[in-house]
């Protein structure tokens, strides 16, 4: 099923304020926590399988959790895996539909100026320059009502109109 973005040019674009952006950010933080729990559970399952097949031993570590957080090779790989899970979450939703679940709840959409979905490179730039959401603090002082990460990624966050 494909969704078509309404690109009605008779209406002027509305840009969200800081509090609406923070609301979506908090909502998404809860979703990201769930994504991280699922990713962590999957990693624990893989470690459990490797332990049961004898491919892996915990030797000096108490349990799989300590292994994943302290082992010289596993810990950085595990951290990168979790980071890629979060990056993948945002990149997928921003590039596919222009909205995460939090943005959908708060009627926000990230898009290019022509209304098209952003590209993967724009999503990655947006994540890299967001400073974990602190880039939104620029919104009340910006004449364009865009955050730092929106300006850097050459995209815009718009407030969607209420359905009729």
Handedness of CA 101, 105, 106, 108 (dihedral sign): positive
Give me the long-range contacts of 140-149 (CB less than 8 A, separation at least 24): 140/17, 140/18, 144/15, 145/15, 145/16, 145/17, 146/15, 147/21, 149/125
pTM assigned to the model: 0.86
* Rounded to 5°, angle at Cα 127 from 124 and 131: 150
Helices (H) and strands (E) in the chain, counts: 6, 2
Residues paired with 157 in a beta bridge:
110
CA angle, residues 12, 115, 2, in degrees to nearest 5: 125
Q: Does the pLDDT at position 9 exceed 60?
A: no
Per DSSP, 43 falls in state H
Note the pLDDT of residue 132.
Answer: 87
Quick: pLDDT tens for 28-68. Answer: 999 999 999 999 999 999 999 999 999 988 889 998 889 99
Please state the length of the chain. Answer: 164
All structural domains of the chain with their residue ranges: 18-159
């Amino acid at each position: 099923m494909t969704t078509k973005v309404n690109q009605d040019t008779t209406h002027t674009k509305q840009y969200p304020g800081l509090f609406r952006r923070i609301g979506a950010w908090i909502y998404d933080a809860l979703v990201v926590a769930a994504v991280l729990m699922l990713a962590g559970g999957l990693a624990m399952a893989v470690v459990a399988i490797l332990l049961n097949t004898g491919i892996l031993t915990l030797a000096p570590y108490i349990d799989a959790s300590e292994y994943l957080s302290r082992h010289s090779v596993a810990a950085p790989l595990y951290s990168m895996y979790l980071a890629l899970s979060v990056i993948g979450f945002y990149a997928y939703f921003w590039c596919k539909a222009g909205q995460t679940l939090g943005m959908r709840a708060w009627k926000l959409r990230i898009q290019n100026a022509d209304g098209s979905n952003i590209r993967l490179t724009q999503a990655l730039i947006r994540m890299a320059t967001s400073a974990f959401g602190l880039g939104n603090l620029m919104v009340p002082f910006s004449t364009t009502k865009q955050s730092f990460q929106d300006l850097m990624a050459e995209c815009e966050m718009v407030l969607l109109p209420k359905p009729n």
